[in-house]
Amino acid sequence: MMKIKEIKAKHLNTEKFIEEKVLEIRQAVGGGLAVNALSGGVDSSVVTALGHKALGKRLKTYFIDNGIMRQNEPVMVAAQFKKMGIHVEVLDSSKAFFSALKGITDPEEKREAITQTFYKKIFRGLVVKSKARHLLQGTILTDIDETVAGIKRQHNVFEQLGIDPQAAFGYKILEPLIQLRKDGVRKLGRALGLPDSIFNRIPFPGPALAARVIGEVTPAKIHIVRKATLITESELANTRAFQYMAILHADRVTGLRDNKRVFGNQIEIRCWNSLDARTASPTRLSFKVLEKISGRIIKEIPEVVSVTYHIATKPPSTIEAV
Ligand code: XMP
């Protein structure tokens, strides 16, 4: 593999970098079209802003709504970019994702179903339909390291799209952030005028709320965990913890609703202290804060009768439950 020359954040001259990359992207794309998928995460947001600076309307940006995002996420992300003069097309693909997830309970199989649906079904269709010859990707140096170390699955987009690059001659992937790490990407994003709200968010996993539902992922379960997530994120926003979340358990527990015994759902709250997500410990939330979250969840989500707080460290626990 070709050695990639790292640019450390402290050495990154954003003005010069933007100028160079804009030129490179323009030269590569020529008079044609390019396409990219925006998730709202830092890397894809920065590559979207950079790509539009280079290509304007000749870059088609899609936000693929997989139906397992947080409350209002697609609308919020599209609105954020609209303010910057960038049109993002939101594509409702929730049916495809829920049908791919149907009946699957194994965590890795769930992740695989989401990846396959994204690349092979939805994004591949878009790339082919758009007639774009270039894909813009927010791959960063850490992704390459993790691929080489076998931590992440191969980042070969052609393969993931089910495209034989030879047969589809002409398709090119542009990865303008590949020399940077996260801190460099943040610095670049600020220089490109992206709002702070994009950088201030806590980490959120690619498989989205499917990583927060133990067992089979259904629209009904996503509905419950989405509401619990909204409550948890708003109540814990001031903790400055590394990451916090609500998880929907597969087990049911007995509860009482309107003086009747019901077999209800159980939500688990997690709130982590961590530097790099490799190790983590639970935050010592005050009982008052915990009671507030629990009170809101059982009041606002009638399907839930039990709320617990996770107190084990990572390892052996992991940050997500799936
Ligand atoms: P774990 O659960 O492995 O998580 O302790 C470590 C960090 O990675 C995030 N995470 C993921 N991110 N795809 C992602 O893009 C995934 O499948 C995934 N699983 C976990 C998690 O939110 C935490 O910040």
Distance 151 CA to ligand 1 centre (A): 11
> What's the burial of 215, exposed, middle or buried (CB within 10 Å: 0-12/13-18/19+)?
middle
Closest by Cα among 171, 266, 175 to 212: 266
From 39, 70, 244, 319, mutation site for ligand 1 pocket: most ligand atoms within 8 A of C-beta: 319
Q: What is the pLDDT of residue 85?
A: 96
> Ligand 1 mean position to 22 CA, how many Å?
32
- pLDDT > 70 fraction of the chain, expressed in percent and rounded: 96
Question: pLDDT band at 187, cuts 50/70/90?
Answer: very high
pLDDT attached to residue 155: 65
Distance (Å) from CA 48 to ligand 1 centroid: 23
| CATH class of the domain whose range is 213-309 | alpha beta
* pLDDT tier at 150, thresholds 50, 70, 90: confident
In the reported structure, the alpha carbon of residue 247 is separated from the centroid of ligand 1 by a whole-number distance in angstroms of 14
pLDDT band for 170, please (50, 70, 90 cuts). Answer: low
Among protein residues, the one with the nearest Cα to ligand 1's atom 20 is: 205
Determine the distance separating the centroid of ligand 1 and the alpha carbon of 118, expressed in angstroms: 18
The answer on pLDDT for 216 being more than 60 is yes
> Which residue's CA is minimally distant from atom 6 of ligand 1?
277
Q: Which atom of ligand 1 is nearest to the CA of 242?
A: 24
Query: Looking at residues 194-206, what average pLDDT do you find?
Result: 91
Specify the pLDDT at position 300: 98
Average pLDDT on 28-36 reads 94
Distance 320 CA to ligand 1 centre (A): 6
pLDDT for 160 beyond 90: no
pLDDT in the model for residue 58: 96
pLDDT at position 149, please?
78
Which residues are near ligand 1 (CB < 6 Å)?
111, 203, 205-207, 211, 243, 277, 314, 318-320
Q: How far is the CA of 57 from the centre of ligand 1 (A)?
A: 33
Identify the residue with better confidence: 157 or 238.
Answer: 238
What does the longest C-alpha to C-alpha distance in the chain come to? 70
The per-residue pLDDT for 128 is 83
pLDDT score for 29: 94
Assign a CATH topology to domain 9-199. Answer: Rossmann fold (3.40.50)
Residue 28, pLDDT score = 94
Ligand 1: residue whose CA is nearest its atom 12: 205
Over residues 39-46, mean pLDDT: 95
The 3-class secondary structure across the chain, one letter per residue, is CCCCCCCCHHHCCHHHHHHHHHHHHHHHHCCCCEEEECCCCHHHHHHHHHHHHHHHHHEEEEEEECCCCCCCHHHHHHHHHHHCCCCEEEEECHHHHHHHHCCCCCHHHHHHHHHHHHHHHHHHHHHHHHCCCEEECCCCHHHHHHHHCCCCCCCCHHHHHCCCCCCCCCCEEECCCCCCCHHHHHHHHHHCCCCHHHHCCCCCCCCHHHHHECCCCCHHHHHHHHHHHHHHHHHHHHHCCCEEEEEECCCCEEEEECCEEEEEEEEEEEEEECCCCCCEEECCCCHHHHHHHHHHHHHHCCCEEEEEECCCCECCCCCCCC
Across the chain, mean pLDDT equals 93
3 pLDDT tier (thresholds 50, 70, 90)? confident
Q: How confident is the model over 270-295, as pLDDT tens digits?
A: 999 999 899 999 999 999 999 999 99
pLDDT tens for 307-320 read 999 999 999 999 99
Residue nearest to atom 15 of ligand 1 (CA): 206
Residue 186's pLDDT band, with cuts at 50, 70 and 90, is very high
pLDDT over 80 at 112, yes or no: yes
| pLDDT greater than 50 at residue 169 | no
**What spacing in Å lies between the alpha carbon of 210 and ligand 1's midpoint?**
12
CA-204 nearest atom, ligand 1: 22
In the chain, domain spans: 9-199, 213-309
